[in-house]
Amino acid sequence: MTAFSLDPARLAWCAELRELAARRLRPLAGKGGPGRVDRPLLAELGSLGLLSRLFASGALDLCLMRESLARVCTEAETALALQGLGAHPVHAHGTGAQRARWLPRVADGTAVAAFALSEPGAGSDAAALSLTAEPAAGAAPGRGWRLSGEKCWISNAPDADFYTVFARTTPGAGARGVTAFLVPADRPGLTGSRLDMLSPHPIGALAFDAVPVTADDVLGEVDRGFRVAMGTLNLFRPSVGAFAVGMAQAALDATLAHTARRDAFGGKLRDLQSVAHQVAEMALRTEAARLMVYAAATAYDDGDADVPRRAAMAKLLATETAQYVVDRAVQLHGARALQRGHLLEHLYREVRAPRVYEGASEVQRGIIAKELYGNLEDR
Q: What is the pLDDT along the chain (379 residues), one digit of tens a residue?
A: 445 678 899 999 999 999 999 999 999 998 877 778 999 999 999 999 999 999 988 999 999 999 999 999 999 999 999 999 999 999 999 999 999 999 999 999 999 999 999 999 876 676 788 999 999 887 777 789 999 999 999 999 999 999 999 999 999 888 899 999 999 999 999 999 999 888 768 999 999 999 999 999 999 999 999 999 999 988 898 999 999 999 999 999 999 999 999 988 888 999 999 999 999 999 999 999 999 999 999 999 999 999 999 999 999 999 999 999 999 999 999 999 999 999 999 999 999 999 998 889 999 999 999 999 987 877 6
Query: b/e map of 239-259 (b: 16 or more CB within 10 Å)?
Result: bbbbbbbbbbbbbbebbeebb
Task: Report whether CATH 3.40.440.10 matches the domain 113-222.
Answer: no
Question: Which pLDDT belongs to residue 261?
Answer: 93
Cβ(250)–Cβ(75) below 8 Å: no
- Give the residue numbers marked as catalytic: 358
Among candidates 359, 260, 254, 352, which has minimal Cα distance to 315?
Answer: 359
CATH number, span 8-108: 1.10.540.10
Rounded distance between C-alpha atoms, residue 367 and residue 379, angstroms: 19
Rounded distance between C-alpha atoms, residue 128 and residue 153, angstroms: 16
Question: Which pLDDT belongs to residue 203?
Answer: 93
Q: What angle do CA 326, 115, 205 make, to 5 degrees?
A: 85
Give the count of beta carbons closer than 10 Å to the beta carbon of residue 10. Answer: 14
Cβ(107)–Cβ(51) below 8 Å: yes
Question: Which pLDDT belongs to residue 1?
Answer: 43
Rounded distance between C-alpha atoms, residue 201 and residue 363, angstroms: 23
- CATH entry, 227-378, from 3.30.70.980, 3.40.50.10110, 3.40.190.10, 1.20.140.10: 1.20.140.10
pTM for this predicted structure: 0.92
CA dihedral over 253, 283, 243, 63, signed as positive or negative: positive
Domain boundaries, the chain: 8-108, 113-222, 227-378
Rounded distance between C-alpha atoms, residue 69 and residue 83, angstroms: 14
Rounded distance between C-alpha atoms, residue 377 and residue 204, angstroms: 42
Q: What are phi and psi of 35, to 5 degrees?
A: 70, 15
Cβ(3)–Cβ(298) below 8 Å: yes
